[in-house]
């Protein structure tokens, strides 16, 4: 059980760090374009991109 809790805590710390990096990036560069994000997500997951999405 202890190893499970340690992994869960580590994953949460990684998420917190990622959210902080995203917030800092958006503060400097503004929010990401949702269409571009959807297109990149589609490329990474192999899903068909949404109509009109930029790559």
Question: Quick check: 32 and 54 in contact, CB under 8 A?
Answer: no
Q: What pLDDT score does 47 carry? A: 83
Q: Reduced to 3 states, what is the DSSP secondary structure of residue 9?
A: helix
Distance set, CA 31 to CA 4, 7, 11, 13 (Å): 35, 31, 25, 23
Q: Residue written as tokens 């580590």?
A: 10
Enter the tokens of residue 27.
Answer: 């503060």
Output the pLDDT for position 51: 54
Give the DSSP per-residue string, 25-36: HHHHH-PPPHHH
Q: What is the pLDDT of residues 1-55, one digit of tens each?
A: 899 999 999 999 999 999 999 999 999 999 999 999 999 999 999 987 555 545 4
């Amino acid at each position: 059980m202890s190893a499970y809790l340690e992994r869960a805590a580590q994953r949460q710390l990684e998420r917190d760090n990622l959210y902080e990096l995203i917030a800092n990036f958006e503060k400097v560069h503004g929010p990401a374009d949702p269409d571009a994000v959807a297109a990149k997500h589609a490329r990474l997951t192999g899903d068909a991109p949404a109509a009109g999405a930029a790559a």
